[in-house]
Structure 1
Amino acid sequence: MYTERASRLTGAAVWTGDGAGRVLPDGCMDLLWNEGRLLVAGPDTRAYVAGGASDTWTGLRFPPGSAPAFLGVPAHELRDLRVELADLWPSCEVRRLRGRIAGSPDPGTALEEIALERAAPPDPLLRALVASLDAGRPVAVTADELGLGARRLHRRSLVAFGYGPKTLARILRLQRALALARTGVPFAATAARSGYADQAHLARDVRELAGLPLGRLLAAR
């Protein structure tokens, strides 16, 4: 079973799940708690298929582009990885945080409080970048609107998101399409409204990023 709520950290979400299933790329990174362990889920460029573990996982999903400032690590160094927080931070600090979370009646709230204490203020440029790409604007147009050259935009994106702006735009487009398809919008209309050339283009992207045909993906959820 999976539950999720909005976090007091702007744009973030606190969630709990059983550790099994298919995690799709979404432009975000997560701080994870599981059986006394603190881990970081880096930015995914393809579906991450978790094992059939039945134990409970709790996570704080940061809004796109914000986790690297919290972690002090560029996102591209964690791309498609799940790593122990102790590999990134001093072990004594991580031990203290583990004890704090273990002693809390709600691990999700404890994760949230840690993030609130340490998170940097949102970067207006990164928020504008995500908003522009999520609205379907081309990368070149977005770069011009933000006053950034293509190379500088690419460098900023690697640090913040783990990949370039074109990959980020593709992932955000996938999420838009899935949100529509889950409400029952026909696949052809979903493709058109999400910015795909046609339904075949949507089908290819879903297979490449999610690892399943769209119909099977929706049924599995």
Structure 2
Amino acid sequence: MGERLSVVGFDADDTLWQNESFFRLTEDRFADLLRDFVDGDHLMERLLAAERKNIGHYGFGIKGFMLSMIETAIEVTENRVPAQIIGQILDMGQEMLRHPIELLPHVEDTLATLSDTHPLILITKGDLLHQEQKLAASGLGDLFHGVEIVSEKHPETYRRAFTDHGAGPDRAMMIGNSMKSDIVPALEAGAWAVYVPHGLTWALEAAEAPEGHPRFREMPDLGGVPDHIARIEG
């Protein structure tokens, strides 16, 4: 019989609820605002470069995205961007912050099932206030034993979280949609990991899949996670 998992970790954005789709829609609106100054493909390249540069300053989330859009608009227009467009960028960001939570398939049933048998923790990146607001709005907060909102996800992030909330990474599992942030570092820490692809992945979260790793599994949604854990535990 396998050893029982002492804790199960979940990512939040695009694992439990929709997130990236709102960024893509806002990028389309951003391109439309600046269509008289630059073509859309070049604008997205400049925006991605700004986001990559600014992560260390602003972290992950909508507020940093807004600032990167404003910076990009100033640069591509050579400081000629109308104040009205800056105002519209701010409005778009505020709309994103107000967007209602849309849970992904099988989230509620899976969390409810697992919370009866295992401590669950949320391990997510992003703006502290906004992540707390989204968790509260999701109605899922009572199902989690603990919440970790972090600036970045490294192997040490998972070692600490799984030790603080359980018996260490060797008896823990991480479930998420980002190969770079949720899967690879959790496996490096010694945990099990389940990759649930969302379909839309931010370019800065891309990474090679650890094919053949004995603790790695890919699933189309969260529905199969309880049975997978049962098989591991034997």
The alignment's TM-score, normalised by the length of structure 2, stands at 0.26
Larger-Rg structure: 2
TM-score by structure 1 length? 0.27
Of Structure 1 and Structure 2, the greater helix share is in 2
Looking at both structures, which has the greater relative contact order when contacts are Cα pairs under 8 Å and sequence separation is at least 6?
2
